[in-house]
Amino acid sequence: MNLNLFRNKDLTDEELLISISNGNNDAFNNLYSRYKDRLLYYFYRMLFQDKELAKDFVQEIFIKIINKPHLYNPNMKFSTWIFSVANNMCKNEYRRQDIRKNTISCENPDTFNNEDFSDNNHEPAIKLIFTQLERFDESHKSAFLLKYREGFSIDEISNVLDLPVGTIKSRLFYTRKKLQENIKNNHPELIEQLNLQ
Amino acid sequence: MDTFDNFLNSNLQSDNIDLDLDNSSFNQLHYMVNLNATKSEVKKNSIFGFLTDFASPKFIVAKLAFVVVLFILIIGNKENRVNESFVFLCDSTHIQNNSFDTTATYNNQVSDSLFN
């Protein structure tokens, strides 16, 4: 069993998926440990920072992987594919909760809470960014997370979200611009800390 | 790229949230992997089980008789097919001859009506 675990570590995600469909538990452990934290973070940030919902979604996505491995599109990298599945699950959840009605339009995401962010530690600044990000719609949020959290390229984000490259670029630019403007206007003490010009 | 972009690139990847998955959910996933493995094993057994049973030395006479009957049926079926195709060929030749006759008669009639 330990030998299997050692062998599985060298396998690609795609090879692990094939092993899982043949009932290989070690392959599953490996894939699970590679993706669980990344997916948990993604769902947490996408789904209104709801911890329980994020956990449920991670469970659900792994159930899909176990029961329907044939749905994997071999033309895509596994990481791109799994995040596109995750993104579709979030979209469905947004639809289900009809959240769009309640989301403040990203044309005017200008309200902030009045926390003290003057600390030199980056944590509060990041917290502020994510508080602000909650006010953007799902596709802006998703593109932002995939770029800055997951480190995906623009092409990969375009595949995940099924949108043209130009659209992704403009959404990222817009999100960054709005975040900067709001921080400059409402939290000038953070300008230096966040390297804003 | 602006400096804010650099800040985001270098700081968001290291951001952590105080969140962990339960063991129970992990165990449930493991159970499902095992269940799928059992299912595929059952499928495999149903396909190869017959062949394995057949290869065992039990009831060897009955199995041999079964193979002989199967062989005879296959040969018989082949012969039937040869006969059927022969009959078909004969039929098609007959049709061809008939149509040739009919066309010849028609041509004669047409030429008769034209020249007489």
Could you report the per-residue pLDDT of A119-137, keeping only the tens digit for each?
Answer: 445 677 888 888 888 889 8
Instruction: Write down the pLDDT at residue A4.
Output: 56
Which residues of chain A make contact with B8, given a CB cutoff of 8 A?
Answer: 129, 148, 176
Please, which pLDDT band fits residue B91 given cuts at 50, 70 and 90? low
Given the cut 0.95, state whether the ipTM is greater than it: no
Structure tokens at A98: 């009809």
Q: B40 vs A27, which has greater pLDDT? A: A27
Which residues of chain B make contact with A197, given a CB cutoff of 8 A?
Answer: 2-4
List CB contacts of B7: < 8 A, sequence separation 6 or more. A194, A195
Closest listed residue to residue A133, CA positions, set A145, A147, A146, A151: A145
Percent of chain A scored above 70 by pLDDT?
81
Q: Distance (Å, rounded) from C-alpha A197 to C-alpha B97? A: 97
Closest listed residue to residue B25, CA positions, set A38, A83, A36, A87: A36
From the list A23, A55, A148, the residue facing B33 with the nearest CB is A23
Q: What is the mean pLDDT of residues A139-156?
A: 93
Please, which pLDDT band fits residue A115 given cuts at 50, 70 and 90? very low
Structure tokens at A16: 């692990």
Which residues of chain A make contact with B37, given a CB cutoff of 8 A?
Answer: 22-25
Query: For residue range B45-55, what is the model confidence (pLDDT) as tens digits?
Result: 666 666 676 77
- Residue B21 and residue A36: Cβ atoms within 8 Å? yes
- Residue B2 and residue A197: Cβ atoms within 8 Å? yes
List CB contacts of B2: < 8 A, sequence separation 6 or more. A176, A197
> Quick check: A105 pLDDT over 50?
no
B-interface mutation test, from A148, A176, A193, most B Cβ less than 10 A away: A148
Instruction: Write down the pLDDT at residue A107.
Output: 46
Q: What region does B59 belong to: left with phi over 0, alpha with psi -120 to 50, or beta?
A: left
> Quick check: A193 pLDDT over 80?
no
Q: What is the mean pLDDT of residues A66-76?
A: 86
Q: B38 vs A88, which has greater pLDDT? A: A88
> Quick check: B31 pLDDT over 50?
yes
Name the pTM for this structure. 0.68
- Residue with structure tokens 């165990």? B27
Please, which pLDDT band fits residue A116 given cuts at 50, 70 and 90? very low
Which residues of chain A make contact with B5, given a CB cutoff of 8 A?
Answer: 176
Q: Distance (Å, rounded) from C-alpha B116 to C-alpha B112? A: 6
Q: What is the mean pLDDT of residues A27-53?
A: 91
Note whether A160 and A88 are within 8 A (CB). no
